Amino acid sequence: MNADQPQRGTSFWRSRTGLALCGFLAIAAVLLILEHRAHALQWLPFAILLACPLLHLFHGHGGHGGHGRGHGDKAGAQPDSDPDGRG
């Protein structure tokens, strides 16, 4: 096998091309953030407000936990009276 050919099983991201691409993307990201920070920050409040409906659109209300209890039940709540009826 030649030294120039990558070994079988070597990931693209660990090759010379992949590492160069990662470096280029990191530099490009830093430059974009530095150069466009001023007009990107002016839209930040709108992005936060838009994030809520987008999360509901794509994620819904799943994952809140406590699905075994009813909506009125409180976790660890004490009953109003004894189950024996003694007050």
DSSP 11: -
Q: Which residue reads 């001023």 in tokens?
A: 38
Domain limits for position 46: 12-58
pLDDT of residue 73: 53
Please give the Cα distance from 19 to 26 (Å, whole number): 11
Which residues of the chain carry a pLDDT beneath 70? Answer: 1-8, 61-87
pLDDT of residue 61: 66
pLDDT of residue 26: 94
Q: Is 46 part of any domain? A: yes
Burial (CB count <10 Å: 0-12, 13-18, 19+), residue 6: middle
Q: Is 54 part of any domain? A: yes
Whole-structure pTM value: 0.38
Please give the Cα distance from 75 to 30 (Å, whole number): 47
Rounded to 5°, angle at Cα 3 from 27 and 25: 10
Q: Is 53 part of any domain? A: yes
pLDDT of residue 2: 60
Give the chain's domain count.
Answer: 1
Q: Is 68 part of any domain? A: no
Q: Is 6 part of any domain? A: no
- Per the CB < 8 A criterion, the answer to whether 57 and 63 are in contact is no
Q: Is 40 part of any domain? A: yes
